[in-house]
Amino acid sequence: IAGITQAPTSQILAAGRRMTLRCTQDMRHNAMYWYRQDLGLGLRLIHYSNTAGTTGKGEVPDGYSVSRANTDDFPLTLASAVPSQTSVYFCASSVAENNEQFFGPGTRLTVL
């Protein structure tokens, strides 16, 4: 692994299903973030983690949960997907919260 990866690349999901988006970084960055990007709305922060073992809510956390069991992984879970969660999801990491962020390639999620 080099940098930050996300899986899957894209997914079509039935409403009501549970889904976990995966994010892994090998840069030993302390801070990690999940964003959704929708046309006309820009990047909006869902959840973040400043260090392993801690998480916080961003601007649009409802319907999403995260965990940070170790430094490298930061999965995002949709407990019961709804069509309004159709979006492109980006994971990002940074050395610390006041440093530049490195973004993963994104996951395109469609909820029908």
Partner 1 sequence: GQNIDQPTEMTATEGAIVQINCTYQTSGFNGLFWYQQHAGEAPTFLSYNVLDGLEEKGRFSSFLSRSKGYSYLLLKELQMKDSASYLCAVLGGSYIPTFGRGTSLIVHP
User: Rule CB under 8 A: which residues touch partner 1?
Assistant: 33, 35, 40-45, 48, 50, 56, 58-59, 90, 97-98, 100-106
| CB 89, CB 96: distance < 8 Å | no
Decide whether 14 or 98 has the Cβ nearer to partner 1: 98
Give the residue from 56, 47, 55, 42 showing the smallest Cα distance to 88: 42
DSSP state of 73: B
Q: How far is the CB of 64 from partner 1 (least distance, A)?
A: 16
Q: How far is the CB of 112 from partner 1 (least distance, A)?
A: 22
| CB 19, CB 85: distance < 8 Å | no
Decide whether 16 or 46 has the Cβ nearer to partner 1: 46
Decide whether 82 or 96 has the Cβ nearer to partner 1: 96
Q: How far is the CB of 90 from partner 1 (least distance, A)?
A: 6
Q: How far is the CB of 50 from partner 1 (least distance, A)?
A: 8
DSSP 6-46: EE-SEEEE-TT--EEEEEEESS--SEEEEEEEETTTEEEEE
